[in-house]
Structure 1
Amino acid sequence: MIQAKDLEAGELAALLHFYADAGVDWLLEDQPIDRFEEFAVQQAAREQVRRVQAPSPAGQEERKRRTVPVPSAQLNPPPVAMPNDQAVAAAQLAAEGARSLAELKTALEAFGGCNLKNSARSTVFLSGNPASRIMVIGPMPNADDDRDGIPFSGRQGQLLDRMLAAIGLSREAVVLTNIIPWRPPGNRMPSPAETAICRPFIERQIALAEPGHLLLLGNFPARFFFGESGTIHSLRGEWRELTVSGRAVRAIATLHPQELLTAPANKALAWQDLLRFAEAAQAFGRHA
Structure 2
Amino acid sequence: MRGEIVSALAEVLRFYQRVGFELFPFKFNPIVLAPDVAIEKAKKLNALHQEIGDCKRCPLHQGRNNIVFGEGNPDAKLMFIGEGPGEEEDLQGRPFVGRAGEVLTSLIKNLGLKREEVYIANVVKCRPPMNRAPKPEEQKACLVFLRKQIEIIQPQVIVTLGDVATKALLQTRSGITSVRGRVFEYKGIKVVPTFHPAYLLRNPSRKKLTWNDVQKALNLVK
Q: Tell me the TM-score normalized by structure 1.
A: 0.61
* Partner of residue 185, structure 2: 241
Are 2:115 and 1:171 aligned? yes
* Partner of residue 53, structure 1: none
Gaps of 5+ in 2: 1-42
* Partner of residue 14, structure 1: none
Are 2:135 and 1:191 aligned? yes
Are 2:193 and 1:253 aligned? yes
Are 2:82 and 1:138 aligned? yes
How far apart, CA to CA, are the structure 2 residues paired with 1:240 and 1:275? 15
* Partner of residue 145, structure 2: 201
The secondary structure found in structure 1 opposite 2:117 is: coil
Contact conserved, 1:125 with 1:150, CA < 8 A, in 2?
A: yes
Alignment partner for residue 125 of structure 1, among 46, 57, 69?
A: 69
The superposition leaves residues 29-61 of structure 1 with CA deviations (integer Å, 9 ceiling, x where unpaired) of xxxxxxxxxxxxxxxxxxxxxxxxxxxxxxxxx
Residue 174 of structure 1 and its aligned partner are, at CA, apart by: 0.4
Q: Whose relative contact order is higher, 1 or 2, with alpha carbons under 8 Å and at least 6 apart?
A: 2
- Alignment length (residue pairs): 181
Larger Rg: 1
Are 2:218 and 1:278 aligned? yes
Contact conserved, 2:78 with 2:218, CA < 8 A, in 1?
A: no
The secondary structure found in structure 2 opposite 1:267 is: helix
The superposition leaves residues 172-206 of structure 1 with CA deviations (integer Å, 9 ceiling, x where unpaired) of 11001101000011112222211111111111111
The secondary structure found in structure 1 opposite 2:198 is: helix
Residue range with higher mean Cα deviation, 263-272 or 184-193: 184-193
CA RMSD of aligned residues (A): 1.5
* Partner of residue 263, structure 1: 203
Residue 273 of structure 1 and its aligned partner are, at CA, apart by: 0.4
The secondary structure found in structure 1 opposite 2:193 is: strand
Q: Tell me the TM-score normalized by structure 2.
A: 0.78
AA matched with 1:270:
T
Contact conserved, 2:83 with 2:134, CA < 8 A, in 1?
A: no
How far apart, CA to CA, are the structure 2 residues paired with 1:238 and 1:184? 28
How far apart, CA to CA, are the structure 2 residues paired with 1:117 and 1:220? 19
The secondary structure found in structure 1 opposite 2:159 is: strand
How far apart, CA to CA, are the structure 2 residues paired with 1:168 and 1:261? 22
* Partner of residue 103, structure 1: 47
How far apart, CA to CA, are the structure 2 residues paired with 1:199 and 1:215? 16
Contact conserved, 2:83 with 2:133, CA < 8 A, in 1?
A: no
Residue 251 of structure 1 and its aligned partner are, at CA, apart by: 0.5
How far apart, CA to CA, are the structure 1 residues paired with 2:105 and 2:132? 25
How far apart, CA to CA, are the structure 2 residues paired with 1:224 and 1:132? 21
The secondary structure found in structure 2 opposite 1:241 is: strand
How far apart, CA to CA, are the structure 2 residues paired with 1:147 and 1:224? 25
Are 2:75 and 1:159 aligned? no
Are 2:175 and 1:231 aligned? yes
Residue 233 of structure 1 and its aligned partner are, at CA, apart by: 1.1
Residue 151 of structure 1 and its aligned partner are, at CA, apart by: 0.1
How far apart, CA to CA, are the structure 2 residues paired with 1:249 and 1:178? 17
Residue 226 of structure 1 and its aligned partner are, at CA, apart by: 2.0
